[in-house]
Amino acid sequence: MQESIYNKFDLDMIIKVLQLSGNSFPIGGFSHSYGLETYVTEEAITSVTELFVFIKSMLFSVISDCDGPAVCLAHNLASSNDLDGLLELDEFFTALKLSRENREAQSKMGRAFLRMALKMYPDNDFLFDYHEHSRKENENYPVAFGAVSAQVGIEKELATTAYIFSAVNSIVQAGIKLIPLGPSESQRLIVELYQHIIVAVKASCGKTFDEIGSFSPGLDLASMRHEKLYTRLYMS
């Protein structure tokens, strides 16, 4: 008798990660364009092809060097209930974000994510202690996502994949409004990014604390210019 497909997956884990990383999870991710709005306003990005280049650049200059490794390392630390290590990682991640908008975006989403996770899992003492001891400007979203994922039993690679896919999807959704893109174009773009996402996940999970870094001067400057745009649809 052929083995049921349901025996090949931990469905409970998959359902959890789909809920935590879904667009409907109330953390305000739809309010941020991560610098894309500046590029579109300045007509540096006007097509799906240019958006592909933008997202690919983000994957390998920001996400796989900084955000993705933060998810993986936070998962490791939360798995071993290392609160001091998690708080140190969180503070370090804050320092890596050069623009005010990026820092505020990551902390706002992280705090909203952690507050909701505590309502979903009110008996989790480690997450409660993390929330209680973290400074207000920390609780960064990638760190919080990795920590919560570990504490609710989601495997590290799956959590990192979900985080990175969600980040890419959020940028594509911003592109739909800003460029604008049609629904078919946007979905084909995500398909074209599949392999790049996989590479970014593997790179993220292979980095140590000392290897986390963030060198994206173009994106940082775009984020700083975003504060002074004449009109804005997004907070960052």
Note the pLDDT tens digit of each residue in 10-60: 888 999 999 999 988 888 777 778 888 888 888 899 999 999 999 999 999
Q: What does pTM read for this prediction?
A: 0.92
Quickly tell me which residue has 């992280």 as its tokens. 110
Axis crossing angle, helix 100-120 with helix 83-96, rounded to the nearest 10? 150
Note the pLDDT tens digit of each residue in 140-182: 999 999 999 999 999 999 999 999 999 999 999 989 999 999 9
Please name each of the domains of the chain with its CATH number.
33-226 (1.10.4190.10)
The CA-to-CA distance between both ends of the chain, in Å, stands at 54
Contacts of residue 137, defined as CB under 8 A and 6 or more positions apart, other chains included, come to 94, 103, 107
Of 57, 8, 84, 110, whose CA–CA distance to 218 is shortest?
Answer: 57
